[in-house]
Amino acid sequence: MGLTFYYQPMTSATRVHWALEELGVAYDKVKIDLSKRENKNPDYLAQNPNGKVPLLVADGVPIFESLAILLYLGERYGAEKKLFPGETDYAGRGEALKWMCWGSVTVVETVMRIMRNTSDRFPAEERNEKAAQSAKLEMAGHLAMIDHALEGRDYMLGAEFSLVDVANASLVPFIARNGVDTTPFSRVNDWVGRCIARPAFARVMTS
């Protein structure tokens, strides 16, 4: 039955798209136009009651949430492609799960808090400058943590690029677009540069 990937470019689906391209697995792509609310069509909601992108339908099983999809892809294809620790590499899995979950829960919650308190996509009366400032301070702490973790290594798990880098490097440009100064974190910036220079990322950006 294979893999069908539902996405809109430049969204939370992008990191899943990137992972699919890195893994080199065969998949079909279906663009969902969020501006036309195609994500709220009954057919789409029947597969994804969460009504958002991304969605991956894997052998008939619909999987929503980009982190869940990344972990699924890592478990299913990652070890063979040397992009995810193998089933019995418990030390590697511990590192991978820790960084992927922390990025997708803690870091994403902080950037969403910044966005909700600064972006004109949200009503002015719901925005709070002080809440935005404290979230930006927290974010600086998160970036410092990644910067420290990258000391002496090119990628989050060590010398080799992995899906952990896909999951987390993809967050940094979004963080910067939300008004966080990432320039003090030189290891983070160098790492993001290395990750997004990969051909798989370029393919994602042009499709």
Ligand X SMILES: N[C@@H](CCC(=O)N[C@@H](CS)C(=O)NCC(=O)O)C(=O)O
Q: Which stretch binds ligand X (CB under 6 A): 50-58, 77-85, 88-96, 115-123?
A: 50-58
Q: Which of 63, 56, 65 lies closest to 12 in space, CA to CA?
A: 65
65 touching ligand X, by CB under 6 A: yes
Q: Which stretch binds ligand X (CB under 6 A): 46-54, 141-149, 152-160, 193-201?
A: 46-54
Selected from 19, 53, 56, 107, the binder of ligand X by CB under 6 A is: 53
Cβ of residue 52: shortest distance to ligand X, in angstroms?
A: 3
Pick out residues in 67-96 that bind ligand X (CB under 6 A).
none
Selected from 30, 34, 61, 137, the binder of ligand X by CB under 6 A is: 34
Long-range contacts (CB closer than 8 Å, 24 or more residues apart) made by 93-102: 95/156, 95/157, 95/164, 96/157, 96/162, 96/163, 96/164, 97/71, 99/149, 99/156, 99/157, 99/164, 99/167, 99/168, 100/67, 100/70, 100/71, 100/163, 100/164, 100/167, 100/168, 101/67
CA 96 to chain centre: 14
170 touching ligand X, by CB under 6 A: no
39 touching ligand X, by CB under 6 A: yes
Summarize as ranges the residues that interact with ligand X (CB under 6 A): 11-12, 34, 39, 51-54, 65-66
